[in-house]
Structure 1
Amino acid sequence: MIKVLRYTEYLYLAVAAISIYKIATLWSVDPKETYIFIFFAVVSIGMFIFRRRYRKRFEQRNKDNQQ
């Protein structure tokens, strides 16, 4: 289960990277179209941080329960 949580963390980073790429390519064409990608990038980075902290707490709790 912990491996699945780790993969979802990196999935959020991938979404953020794709969004940042789209922001960079679309900004000079139509800045209004990039706002949705800015939103996706910010939310994805926030979710990455949240999921990482949650996974580390989960691992620590399991480690403490095993001892």
Structure 2
Amino acid sequence: MKIQKIFHYAYIIFAALFVYDAITKWSDDRNKAYMSLLFAALATFMFFFRKRFSKKMEDNNNK
């Protein structure tokens, strides 16, 4: 289960990298910047979704 928690935070790291990528590309090519922001939003969603899902599985295992 510890490796699963590492992957949860990997999503946040990827989201930060995509936001940085969007900021650097904003003045050059906005379409690529929007794509990076979309991936950042997706990575953030996946972080919260996976965290909630693993919490549910943990609660089910404890019952």
Question: Is the TM value for this pair above 0.5?
Answer: yes
Question: Identical aligned pairs, as a percentage?
Answer: 33
Partner of 1:55: helix, strand, or coil?
Answer: helix
| Larger RCO (CA within 8 A; separation ≥ 6) | 1
Aligned residue for 1:22?
A: 21
Consecutive unaligned residues of structure 2, counting only runs of 5 or more, are none
Deviations 1:19-42 (A, max 9, x none): 001111111222122122112101
Pairs aligned (count): 63
Asked whether the equivalents of residues 16 and 40 of structure 1 are also in contact (C-alpha less than 8 Å), the reply is yes
* Structure 1 unpaired stretches of 5+: none
Rg comparison, structure with higher value? 1
